[in-house]
Amino acid sequence: MNKFAALIGLLLCFPLSIQAQTQIFENRNCASQDVLEKQNANSPEILKLRELINVRTQEITQRPGVTSLRSAINIPVVVHLVYNAAAENLTDAQIQSQIDVLNEDFNKQSKELATSTSIYKNSAANVGITFCLASVDPKGKFTKGIERKQSTRSTWGTSDIVKFSSLGGLDAWESKNYLNVWICNIGGGSIGYSQFPGGSPNSDGIVIDYRFFGRIGSLKPFDKGRTLTHEIGHWLNLIHIWGDSQCGDDRVDDTPTHHNANYGCPSVPFVSNSCGSAITEMTMNFMDYVNDACMYLFTEGQKARMLALFEPNMPRHDILNSLGCSFVVQPVVNCTAAKNFTVSTITENAASFDWKIDSTTTQQKLIITDNAQSSQQIIDLGIGANSFIPINLKSQTKYAAYISSVCKTGEILNSDVLIFTTFAPPPKIICVSAKNTTITNFTENSANMNWLVNTTTTDQQIVFFEENKSSQTLIPLDGNANSYSLQNLKSQTTYHVFISSTCKSSLVLNSDEIVFTTLAPPVIRCSDAYENNNSRAQSKQISSNATINAVISDATDRDWFYFKTQAGTHYTIKLSNLPADYDLKIFNAKGKFISSSENDGTWDENISYNALKSDSIFIVVYGYNGNSDSTNCYSLGIKSSFEASLFSNSVSNLSTNQNLKRAYQHSSANTFSLFPNPTSDILNIVTPQTDSDYDSAINLFDATGKIVLSKSVKMGVTKNSAELSVSDLPSGLYLLQINNESAQNIFKVMIAH
């Protein structure tokens, strides 16, 4: 008695039935056109390139016999499998089953076509493209053509984040040599989408929901691998047969006009009168939306459009030279039966199996039998697999299961048989997404969210992102949360935000998306406590050794201040933190000009002054050429000291004929000029013009070597003259020192009253 017969005998005492695969999706939903329209809207360059590709395609397809000129095409496929739950981690066998489907569909070998009675059966074309799982990776190393990554993310959407490791997914292999296919839980109702030719190479390829990949373990009615066949059609520049509009044009001459997408399994022939006349629609075309079992052909026109992409200077030409399918890696195989076969974590529709295998096993299958239906569910497993969780079992049902191992010699060895019963289903719980989501109290960098949460939610997360950017920020929350304060937002930035809720049934539901824009940061104005001080008569007293802040509010504003000096004291007056080009002048108590600092731009202004007697010194701050800033303050400080600072060379060591390297040696007018000399009032100083501006310090020393007058100016290209008021200095011989960044010049000055 064989093992299957033994199982029948074991199960005769209780009714069994195989759980039909749940139809999670009744109708096909391909997101390729939506993704294309979004790419076109975000990138005019992609839109323009797509138009050029279509024009070039039209030219190529009009050549006589174009479909017979191309030799066999081999396309290496790399599968990037990103999974969360174990059920999403498809076996190698299931993935290989999808490759088998592609080779049948693109080479006119499907059994559905062979048994078809449609009038369009003879319209089917042999496209002549074969696919293989890549055996050589981009670095030239052997590979199975499958890479896997477990993620904490439950769904990925259609924004291409699964295609980038930096966003939690897996990066594409170079698209000129491989067809990249990502398998994940897409969510949102889509079962797959493709990038049309002309997009970014970093995202080029196809994304398929894990539930609809291959013809082993996938869900009806999309359980025969035709979702990837359909999406490869888009990848090779085919659009939907109804032209994505009612009675639209799919740019192929030998396909009939369709009123719209067809769903399910329409009767054959299916005649529509919606486009002005009775038309028998080609519902079995791979680019329609019917169930997998009811689609089975491409036409010669579609073939020509696809093959045009492999011509020189077209998007898929380079893949003809790929070495991705150069080697077929055959595993070393021997054989032993599975041991310690156990079942655990039984639920109403799933169970977890574990076993031990020998490395010599060449092939394994999990066989689950439901005697009530007299049928077997056979699941191909990977060579090294030692666990599996079948889903979609029927609740409150007894099953028998065992592992069948295939030897290299063809011998089949089976494990012990397990009998288990699935649990009763939990009470039906209705779950809805978060409702009444609102954004309130938003500022330049924060916003408050509030929403109504369903009591059946197990956990939630806030998903938000900047407009026109794919990178999302995820904030996990517990299932009872109904408010949150978003922080550290950018000012004056538009954000999109929604609540993603996970139900107790593991279904993920998203709330409506809300769009809001953060506010601009508030304008902080500087406070000026010294107005009104626009004239010398309105001058405000300030203290030495202190710094005050004030504002030049408009082009007519002048800020006057004064401070008291003590005889024999050196004062440094500094104007800093300038929001605009401001200048500085000082006068004595009689209103006579003493000195000024008039540097360009927002350079600090500095004046040094030695008080020979106690007096009041008046200061005026003003905007050069009417410069002002009513919002931002400037700083004015006065520092006093009883000992004047001397430069590195004392006066006794200074010489009027020092042989120093001067910055002025590049000037065509290489001379200094002081006039009048002797002087009793104003001493005019003219320096050589140079190729650039320099910060220059002008110091006047008396016979004792003390600085009696000092001034800081920017001189060179923009300005090459300055004035010193010496009317308050006693008669006598003085030394004038002019310093810049790399030179020092000394001159004798006579003051005579």
* Residues classed as catalytic: 231
Tokens linked to 623:
């905007």
| Contact criterion met (CB below 8 Å) for 369 and 16 | yes
Rounded-to-integer distance, Cα 515 and Cα 496, Å: 5
Cβ within 8 Å of residue 236, ≥6 positions away: 197, 305, 306, 309, 316
- Here the tokens at position 742 are 């790399």
Contact 215, 272 (CB under 8 A): no
CA torsion through residues 683, 689, 693, 696, sign: negative
Distance in angstroms (rounded) separating the CA atoms of residues 557 and 628: 8
Contacts for 702-706 with beta carbons within 8 Å, 24 or more apart? 702/729, 702/732, 702/734, 703/732, 703/733, 703/734, 705/646, 705/650, 705/651, 705/652, 706/610, 706/644, 706/646
Question: Helix 92-105 vs helix 226-235: angle between axes, to the nearest 10 degrees?
Answer: 60
Strand, coil or helix: 335: coil
Name the one residue in this structure whose structure tokens are 């520049």.
Answer: 237
Cα–Cα nearest to 290, from 234, 239, 233, 241 = 241
Q: Using DSSP bridges, classify how beta strands 707-715 and 694-701 pair: parallel, antiparallel or unpaired.
A: antiparallel
Note whether 77 and 196 are within 8 A (CB).
no
DSSP state of 73: E
Q: How far is CA 336 from CA 383, 404, 654, 741, in A?
A: 12, 10, 102, 88
Cα 51–Cα 191–Cα 156 angle in degrees, nearest 5: 90
- HSE toward the beta carbon, residue 481, CA cutoff 13 A: 18
- Percent of residues in the chain assigned helix, strand, coil, to nearest 5: 15, 30, 50
Residue with tokens 């109702």: 189
In 10 A of CB 520, how many CB atoms? 10
